[in-house]
Amino acid sequence: MTARNIDGNALSAKVREELAQRAAVLTAQGAQPCLAVILVGEDPASAVYVRNKVVGCEKAGFRSLKYTYPADVAPQEVLAKIAELNADASVHGILVQLPLPKQFNSEEVLEAISPEKDVDGFHAVNFGLLLQGRKSFYPCTPWGVMKMLESENIQLKGAEAVVIGRSNIVGKPMAVMLMSKGATVTICHSQTKDLAFHTKRADIVVAAVGRAKMITGDMIKPGAVVIDVGMNRDENGKLCGDVDFASAREVASLITPVPGGVGPMTITMLLANTVESAQRALEAKSKS
Ligand code: GUN
Domains and CATH numbers, the chain: 30-114 (3.40.50.10860), 140-263 (3.40.50.720)
Mean pLDDT on 121-148: 97
| Confidence class for position 152, pLDDT limits 50, 70, 90 | very high
What average pLDDT does the chain have?
A: 97
- 90 vs 93: CA distance, rounded Å: 10
Question: Ligand 1 atom 8: the closest Cα is on which residue?
Answer: 97
DSSP state of 137: P
Q: Which residue has the higher pLDDT, 38 or 288?
A: 38
Q: Which residues contact 211 (CB under 8 A, 6 or more apart)?
A: 230, 232, 242
Q: What residues are annotated to the active site?
A: 53, 97, 120
Cβ neighbours for 227, distance < 8 A, ≥ 6 positions apart: 6, 145, 148, 149, 204, 205, 206, 207, 255, 256, 261, 262
CA distances from 87 to 20, 80, 81 (A): 25, 11, 10
Residue 207 has pLDDT above 90, yes or no: yes
What residue's CA is closest to ligand 1, atom 1?
98
pLDDT band for 161, please (50, 70, 90 cuts). Answer: very high
Percent over 70 (pLDDT), the chain: 100
| Residue 62, pLDDT above cutoff 90 | yes
Cα(142)–Cα(138) distance, integer angstroms? 8
**pTM of the entire predicted model:** 0.97
Mean pLDDT of 236-252: 97
Which value, to the nearest 10 degrees, does the dihedral of the CA atoms of residues 264, 279, 171, 50 take?
50
Is residue 24 very low, low, confident or very high in pLDDT (cuts 50, 70, 90)? very high
How much distance in Å is there from the Cα of 73 to the middle of ligand 1?
Answer: 19
The whole-angstrom separation of Cα 241 and Cα 215 is 9
Residue 265 in contact with residue 147, Cβ under 8 Å?
yes
User: Burial, 157: exposed, middle or buried (Cβ in 10 Å; 0-12, 13-18, 19+)?
Assistant: exposed
Q: Is the pLDDT of residue 1 over 90?
A: no
- Closest ligand 1 atom to the C-alpha of 169? 6
Q: What is the pLDDT of residue 286?
A: 87
Q: Report whether the peptide linkage leading into residue 75 is cis, meaning its omega lies within 30 degrees of zero.
A: no
What spacing in Å lies between the alpha carbon of 8 and ligand 1's midpoint? 18
Q: How far apart are the CA of 49 and the centre of ligand 1, in A? A: 8
Of all protein residues, whose CA lies closest to atom 2 belonging to ligand 1?
Answer: 98
